[in-house]
Each structure stands twice: as C-alpha cells, then as structure tokens.
Amino acid sequence: MSRMMPQRWPRMTMGIWILVGHLLLSAQTQPKNPGTPAKLRVQAPGTQMEVTVDARQGKLGIAMPNPLLTGLDATEVTAAFTDTLRRDLEEAGPFSLLKDKLPTSVEASTAKAWLDTGAEWVLSMRLSKAGEAVTLVLQVLDVKATSQGDGKQLRYAFNKNYSGNVALLRRIAHTVADDLVDRLTGERGIANTRVVFVRQMAPGIKEIFQVDRDGANPIQLTRYGSLTLSPTVAPDGRLAYVTYKGGAPEIWGQKKSGGPHERLYPAAAAGSQGSCYAPIWSPDGKRLAFTQSDRRGNSDIVVMDVQSGRVRKLTDGGFINTEPSWNPAGTQIAFTSDREGGPQVYLMEEDGSNVRRLSGEGSYNASPSWSPNGAMIAYVSRFEGKFDLFVFKLEMGKAYQITTGVASSESPAWAPDERRLVFSSNRGGNMQIWTTDLSGNSVKRLTEFTFCQSPKWTRSR
C-alpha cells in the first residue's frame, strides 16, 4: 500500500533541530556536579593592520600550514589541535580547506603564490608551552589585500591570542574555528558546542552524558544508578531531567548555574500529584514545561516557575498531551496529543489557548521541536513500524522528510546554527546518537556506546 508522504526537504544552508520526550521506569544515588570547564582567554594584540573580508557568497579558500611549536610535542599537537581544527573548518560550511601544492612561507612576497592556489586566507599559528600553560598566537593573512599592496606589508583578516591549560588544546581548536566562522559570516560557529544525551549503563539503569560536537570528550553528568531520562539544558547551562531514583519519576536539576542538583518537582515526594515526564526549559530559563499524568491514564502539559515552584496546567480534556517544545520567544508551545485519535503535533499559546493542529499527513506524528529561529518545527512520523524525521516549515505550511530507510530515526533536536539535526537511530545496530544535514544525505554517527537516546544540542555547557 502506498502512502502520500510530505515533500523531501530541499537542500539549504540554514538548519533545524528536533526533540523527543517519552515515558519510562526506576533508581538511587546523588549526581556529581560536572567540573566547571576551564576558561579560555582571548585578546586582540592590535599590533597588525586588520582587514574585514566579506565572503558570504560561496566558500572561502583557506590554507592552514602546520603551526610553529615551542615546548610542545608535534604528535600531541597534531592529534589534539591541528587535526581537530582542520575537521572543524571542513565541517563548518563556509570554508574550502586547501591542502596541495602550497607555498612554504607566509610573507608579503609570497601573497601572489598563495592567491594562485585559491587561498584567500592563510592561517599563521605559533603554539608555545610554559609549564602547563599553552599560548596560541593566530594571524590570518588576507591574501587578496596583501597581494594588492606594496609587496612589503602583510594585511590580516584576523589576529588573536588564545591561552589555557595544555589539556585544552582541543577546546582551543574549537574556539578558533568558531571565531573564524563568526569573522566570515557574522554568525557563531558550533565547533565548541556539546550534545547531552541518555546512555544505558545496564538493564534498568540509564544516566545523562555529554560529548563534544564531534563525539569526543565524553562526560558522565549523573550517577544515580537508576533510570534517568529526558535531559534538557537551559540557556545558561543548567541541566534538568527525570529520574526514578526515589521510585516514582521526579524532575531534578539545577536552580542556579553551576549549582547542586536538587529535586525541582514535585516539591515533596511524589504521591497523589501523578507522574511527570519530558521537561523542557523555557527560552528565558525561568520556567519548565513538562507532562504530568493522572491515574486514569491521561496526561497534560503543565508549566512550572522554577524559583517559586508554582505550577499552571495548560491542557485539560481527558487526552494524552505530552512532549512540549517552546518557540524561541517563549510565547507558544508545540506538543503531541491524541485528542483526534492517533498522536499528532499541535500548537498552543503559552497560556494554553488557541490550540490548533500542525501535522497533517500520517496517522502517528510526535515529538515536536521548535527551531532556534522559530520558522520550523521538526518531528517524527511513524510508518510501517519505524520513525523518520520530518520538518514543518511554518511560512510555507508544508512538511519535508529528512530521513528514509529501514532503520528508525527518533528524538530529533536542533543544532544551534540550524544546519544539522541530532537524533537517535538504530541504523548501526543498537540505538546511538547521529547527526544529519537537512537534505538527509550527510548522516554521521556521534556515539559508540551502549544504547543512547534523547539527545539535545547546546552551546551553554
């Protein structure tokens, strides 16, 4: 039997993210607060002429000679810094990284030779180590401006110093990549972002983890020895999630940035208030929307003011209403409901008014996630026993299919720059975390652990 499907998502440079929330089971123990990440110091020396380059039309050719090293092992620098920066720049989008037949020196007299290779920027880098501190001096030669000059003066598109502990070489590489993207496009890159997700440690035990955007540097964020699910990250990095460590599901997390993990809801041990699931921070970080169920099997969307603990119910009517997702302004919520039969995606105002259905095609559409720019909503649609990712473009009123195939793709969420989605899928065997561009053609595996689910992509951790 054939099925009328929404259109395939066209190739585009802007991106989207999707998110999913589902219910589950039990546990015990206190989470360790993750250590505060070391800070990087960035300063502009101001000793060189800087030239602004506008390369918004098409990709900019960029060359990256190996850095000059003082007090550092070349093998360590290549693995932790150079290779990381190259991958970041290759995946960033606006750059074309040049590798072959490059000049051996960076000076005004070689600018024409660099220009002939297609390079418009050349990265000149010096890395030095003193004790456990490492300093990077980065100068980005503007090849065109230099070649058009007097042949003596170097002209720079970018010029900064970075410093930190030697263990932060990868982080420094990510920061450099994001700074270069920002300089070129005016928008922040995503190399220095994180993905938070759920990992199964053993049957009946799941914990919250995070990894860097490229899958490196895994950190365990909770240690309850129980079921811990549905992570959500506030704009300032605060974590919230559902845990069964006390038996019934409770929402735990941080009231203050860097603060301890504590019970957020219910105020006392869960009892007659029903179970709670699928929390998500509001864009202002002051509220949590989540699902609360009753003993009749119904569930509703509620919103809680985190500091006061006051809870307001947004839906009512004897249906299953779940998986809330805020729009970027915090004025509307997308959610899943079975009020018309099977699960579908609906929209409502932040006070619960003006409920209207969003999804059209398909008998099972769920797990909406509003895009960071507010123009799109991603969700999953089930067909023949598996889920695929879709995106609904609000202005056009149309849905576009992102993933296809025999595997199931679930729990989608947005990249901060909206160029990719992160999601869980069993396409490699057990459930792992993957990313895809909006065409569905560039799918990459992010994790290599035991079963993983419910990813969220964030700048703030």
Co-location of 146 and 214 in the same domain = no
3-class state of residue 146 by DSSP: helix
Co-location of 17 and 75 in the same domain = no
Neighbours of 298 (CB within 10 A): 17
pLDDT reported for residue 66: 93
Is the residue at 87 inside a domain? yes
Co-location of 202 and 347 in the same domain = yes
- Integer CA distances (angstroms), 239 to 17, 31, 52, 221, 250, in order: 19, 12, 38, 9, 14
Is the residue at 252 inside a domain? yes
Range of the domain at 255: 7-34+195-458
Mark which of 166, 185, 204 sits at the end of a domain: 185
Co-location of 326 and 356 in the same domain = yes
Closest CA to 98 of 77, 115, 78: 115
pLDDT reported for residue 272: 52
Is the residue at 2 inside a domain? no
Can you give the pLDDT of all 461 residues of the chain as single tens digits? 333 344 443 333 222 222 333 332 223 333 333 333 333 334 333 333 333 333 334 799 999 999 999 999 999 999 999 999 999 999 998 999 998 889 988 889 899 999 999 999 999 999 999 999 999 999 999 999 999 988 789 999 999 999 999 989 999 999 999 999 999 999 999 999 999 999 999 999 999 999 999 999 999 999 999 999 999 999 999 999 999 999 999 999 999 999 999 999 998 754 556 799 999 999 999 999 999 998 888 899 999 999 999 999 999 978 999 999 999 999 999 999 999 999 999 999 999 999 999 999 899 999 999 999 999 999 999 998 999 999 999 999 999 999 998 899 999 999 999 999 999 999 988 999 999 999 999 999 999 998 999 999 999 99
pLDDT digits (tens, 9 = 90+) for 407-457: 999 999 999 999 999 999 999 889 999 999 999 999 999 999 989 999 999
Sheet of strand 420-425: strand arrangement: 409-414, 420-425, 432-437, 443-445
**Dist CA 14 CA 66 (whole Å):** 32
Is the residue at 1 inside a domain? no
pLDDT reported for residue 98: 93
Co-location of 372 and 351 in the same domain = yes
pLDDT reported for residue 55: 35
Mark which of 185, 212, 231 sits at the end of a domain: 185
Co-location of 355 and 384 in the same domain = yes
Q: Is 308 exposed, middle or buried (0-12, 13-18, 19+ CB in 10 A)?
A: exposed
**Dist CA 456 CA 227 (whole Å):** 18
pLDDT reported for residue 406: 86
Co-location of 152 and 205 in the same domain = no
Co-location of 213 and 347 in the same domain = yes
pLDDT reported for residue 33: 34
CATH number of 411's domain: 2.120.10.30
Co-location of 331 and 438 in the same domain = yes
Is the residue at 104 inside a domain? yes
Q: How many domains does the chain have?
A: 2
Is the residue at 330 inside a domain? yes
Whole-prediction pTM = 0.85
Is the residue at 99 inside a domain? yes
Alpha-carbon dihedral of residues 209, 213, 218, 223, nearest 10 degrees?
A: -10
Co-location of 398 and 445 in the same domain = yes
Is the residue at 151 inside a domain? yes
The CA radius of gyration of the chain, in Å to the nearest whole number, is 24
Question: Please, are residues 207 and 449 in contact by the beta-carbon 8 Å criterion?
Answer: no
Co-location of 170 and 27 in the same domain = no
pLDDT reported for residue 269: 59
Co-location of 282 and 154 in the same domain = no
CATH number of 47's domain: 3.40.50.10070
Closest CA to 314 of 296, 338, 288, 342: 288
pLDDT reported for residue 150: 80
